[in-house]
């Protein structure tokens, strides 16, 4: 989030200093497996509309980033193939199909005759993904969903920031922020820095920056374990989702497998036996040929999560020069294009839509996840 916003602001002629406690792109973002899709909700609403909009912007975002930096960025729009597991799931899925057809856009780059989302019965679904264990309720396919190589993306963002003049200062931990001063001020180990405007994209570090932020931005970590496996030949051609398990396949046989959701784990990032079991069992039951895949690596990360699992994007209450962009939970990589554009519009006093205003930080947020 920090690098995407810094890049977009610098492109608009703003002089940006990016303060990072360690190295950029190493915390939650480096743990992501790069699935780009709208989140599912029993009743789709503003957040899903913003997710769709961000996915729609992704091809252009990647193209611009790649051209600006002369770097290849692995990006493919292969679509999401989601197994439907019950009657209730099917009812909800059909609502999403209807909702997604309303989120269609002429500049999407999708073929005219292709729906954004569709439901396939079990025969059609098996034909499309013969190695997947499709059940009686078939599958939902979201053609707008895509995948990105996250390490390519983060390296390109860092390079784009540097090229556009962002002053990146690694190993610079912000110890606190002073929000009441006329100009927002951040406290560092060796002094203070002030600026015209402050944008806080500190992920799980956000609430530690001031007492006010603890109330306004109670962002909490939700641990996720994930792994990389490989097969000799490709066995699936879409991002496959089966309840909490998802498989992101690349044409060279690599498959990223995500992920556990462990809100009770706090800041622990160990890989546990039950985590490995969840991922391996989930992968094999979704796609039986994966029993023979090799495990390449396994890791865990902490998803910065806003109240009620929704992001916080906008100015702080009663402050016109301090902004927040954090708490994107499972969709932070997917939301990068839209969030960067939105924060730029907020900070330059440009138009913000009613849907986007739903995520303005509130004076006393309910800290429950």
Which residues form the interface with ligand FAD (CB under 6 A)? 1-2, 19-22, 26-29, 31-35, 173-174, 201-203, 205, 224, 226, 258-259, 301, 303-304, 326, 328-334
For ligand FAD, the closer CB: 22 or 288: 22
Based on CB atoms, which residue is closest to ligand FAD, 202 or 229? 202
- The CB-of-199 to ligand FAD minimum distance in angstroms stands at 11
- Give 283 or 326: the residue with its C-beta nearer to ligand FAD: 326
CB of 345 to ligand FAD, least distance (A): 18
State the minimum distance, in angstroms, from the CB of residue 188 to ligand FAD.
9
Output the smallest distance, CB 117 to ligand FAD, in A. Answer: 18
- The nearer residue to ligand FAD, 135 or 205, going by C-beta atoms, is 205
Across-strand partners of 193? Answer: 186
Residue 197 contacts residue 321 (beta carbons within 8 Å): yes
Smallest separation, CB 230 to ligand FAD (Å): 18
Residue with structure tokens 């707008």? 144
Query: Minimum CB separation from ligand FAD for residue 338, in Å?
Result: 12
Name which of 138 and 224 has its Cβ closer to ligand FAD.
Answer: 224
Assigned token pair, 129: 């993904």
Min. distance of Cβ 123 from ligand FAD in angstroms? 29
Min. distance of Cβ 332 from ligand FAD in angstroms? 2
- Residue 138 or 206: the one with the smaller Cβ distance to ligand FAD is 206
- CA atoms within 13 Å, Cβ hemisphere of 324: 35
Structure-token pair, residue 368: 């429950």
Query: Closer CB to ligand FAD, residue 63 or residue 173?
Result: 173
Backbone φ, ψ for residue 258 (5° rounding): -125, 170
Closer residue to ligand FAD, CB minimum distance, 221 or 315: 221
- Residue 140, burial from CB neighbour count under 10 angstroms (0-12, 13-18, 19+): buried
Dihedral sign for Cα atoms in the order 291, 292, 297, 303: negative
């Amino acid at each position: 989030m920090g690098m995407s916003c810094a890049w977009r602001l610098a492109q608009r002629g703003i002089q940006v200093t990016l303060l990072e406690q360690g190295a950029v792109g190493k915390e939650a973002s480096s743990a992501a497996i790069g699935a780009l899709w709208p989140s599912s909700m029993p009743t789709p609403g503003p957040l899903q509309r913003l997710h769709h909009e961000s996915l729609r912007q992704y091809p252009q975002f990647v193209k611009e980033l790649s051209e600006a930096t002369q770097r290849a960025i692995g990006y493919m729009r292969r679509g999401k193939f989601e197994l439907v597991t019950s009657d209730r799931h099917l009812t909800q899925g059909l609502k999403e199909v209807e909702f997604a057809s309303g989120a269609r856009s002429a500049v999407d780059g999708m073929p005219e005759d292709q729906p954004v989302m569709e439901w396939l019965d079990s025969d059609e679904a098996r034909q499309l993904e013969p190695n997947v264990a499709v059940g009686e309720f078939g599958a939902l396919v979201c053609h707008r969903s895509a995948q990105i190589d996250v390490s390519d993306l983060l390296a390109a963002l860092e390079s784009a920031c540097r090229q556009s003049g962002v002053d990146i200062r690694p190993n610079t931990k912000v110890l606190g922020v002073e929000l009441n001063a006329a100009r927002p001020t951040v406290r560092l180990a060796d002094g203070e820095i002030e600026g015209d405007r402050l944008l806080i994209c500190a992920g799980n570090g956000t609430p530690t920056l001031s007492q006010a932020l603890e109330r306004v931005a109670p962002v909490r970590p939700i641990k996720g374990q994930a792994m990389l496996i490989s097969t000799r030949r490709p066995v699936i051609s879409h991002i496959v989702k089966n309840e909490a398990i998802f498989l992101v396949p690349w044409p060279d046989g690599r498959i990223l497998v995500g992920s556990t959701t462990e809100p009770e784990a706090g800041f622990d990032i160990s890989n546990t036996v039950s985590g490995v079991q969840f991922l391996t069992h989930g992968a094999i039951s979704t796609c039986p040929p994966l029993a023979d895949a090799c495990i390449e690596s396994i890791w865990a990360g902490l998803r910065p999560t806003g109240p009620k699992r929704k992001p916080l994007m906008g100015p702080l209450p009663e402050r016109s020069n301090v902004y927040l962009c954090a708490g994107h939970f499972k969709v932070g990589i997917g939301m990068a294009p839209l969030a960067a554009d939105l924060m730029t519009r907020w900070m330059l006093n440009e138009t913000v839509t009613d849907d986007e205003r739903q995520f303005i930080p509130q004076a006393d947020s309910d800290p429950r996840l």
